[in-house]
Structure formats: C-alpha cells, structure tokens
Amino acid sequence: MEDWKKDWQPMIDAIGTNFNEGLKQWGADPVEQGPTRQFLEPLEFDCPLHYDKAVADEYGYSDIVAPYSSLFTWLIPPYWEPGMEVFNSAERNVPATKLPLLVVKTDLTPPTPFYFATNVEVDYIKPVIIGDRLCRAGDVLLSCVPKETKVGRGAFQIWETKIENQKEELVAKIRLETYHYFPHE
C-alpha cells in the first residue's frame, strides 16, 4: 500500500459503522403546498396527486403528495440561521464555513480540504405528504476506497442515510458517494 493510503485505514476499518446512530438532523421546513407548487411549475409536472387534495384522497393519501424528486428540498437543514457567519473571508471561491449537506464529518479521515459528490442513489419507500417533516436518521459507512485521481489523492466514500418523517416512518434511503481529497500541487 502506498504511504498516503495508510492515512485512510481507520476509515476503512470503520466500514459498517453508523456514525450518527440516534441522531436526527431535521430539514429546514415541513412539507408545504406553496413550495410544492413552486417546485412543480418550472418542470410543468402535471400530476394531480401533487396539487389536488381530492385526487390524492381518491387514491388513498391523507393529503397532497410531494414529488419524489423534491425529497432534498425538505431534507436539507437551513444554510443560514440568525447569527451565523456563512463566509469567513471576502476572497473569491472561499468555501462556506458550514454546508448542511449530507456529508458526514468524522475524525477518522485525514483533514482533506476538498470534496465533491460523485454519485447519489435514492430508494423511495413511502410517499411524503403535505405536513410531513423529514429528518436524516443515521449515517452508515458502506465503503472507503483510497485512490489517486487527476484532481488529487483521496478516498471515495459511500454513505447510507435513512430518511424518516415526524412519525419515525422510513420514507427513503439515500446512498451518497463522495470523493474527499488533497489536490495535486
């Protein structure tokens, strides 16, 4: 094994670990009809389950169904809250001090300055309904593969996260692959 890859061994050894067991990270807002309508408009998504309560009732839903593709809209925590500093520098391309995305923080990895998502897969288990509140429940490490790429040296990681509603019902599972790396000089 190349020397730099040894820095990733603690993460490799942790495959199968739930890094946030028992922790629930709630989305910024409950699922609402107005933003659902706004989500549908640019897509010209004309399915009455997503805007007509009578049709949703007819098909056995308790209220309007949010489109599956809107899941992340309801899941991601706020990017900004009162008193929060988003950027700590006025320099161009400075990263935000806090990104509320699905990336899991752990002290087992080398402190890589950069990452990007390489793949996302979602299993939709149960429809999300107007009034639901979604949360991320746990983060299981499925894979960690150190690799040198054209952009740098780092590791591809795959995480699985369960998504629950306010009733603790499983609505989806997300598998997110990211590449965390040190850029080449």
Q: What does the alpha-carbon distance between residue 134 and residue 73 come to, in Å, rounded to a whole number?
A: 10
Q: What does the alpha-carbon distance between residue 137 and residue 173 come to, in Å, rounded to a whole number?
A: 10
Geometric angle at alpha carbon 112, from 106 and 113, rounded to 5°: 120
Taking the C-alpha atoms of 92, 93, 96 and 100 in order, what is their torsion angle to the nearest 10 degrees?
Answer: 150
Query: With pLDDT > 90 as the criterion, what percentage of the chain qualifies?
Result: 72
What is the reported pTM?
0.85
* pLDDT above 70 for 24: yes
- Report pLDDT for 172: 98
What pLDDT, in 10s, does the model give residues 163-176? 999 999 999 999 99
Extended strands (E) in the chain: 24-26, 114-124, 135-148, 152-164, 170-183
- Report pLDDT for 171: 97
| 3-183 placed in CATH 3.10.129.10 | yes
Average pLDDT over residues 139-167: 96
Q: State the pLDDT confidence band at 105, using cuts at 50, 70 and 90.
A: confident
Q: What are the residue ranges spanned by the domains of the chain?
A: 3-183
Q: What does the alpha-carbon distance between residue 156 and residue 163 come to, in Å, rounded to a whole number?
A: 22
Q: What does the alpha-carbon distance between residue 128 and residue 29 come to, in Å, rounded to a whole number?
A: 13
Q: State the pLDDT confidence band at 99, using cuts at 50, 70 and 90.
A: low
Q: What does the alpha-carbon distance between residue 32 and residue 132 come to, in Å, rounded to a whole number?
A: 8
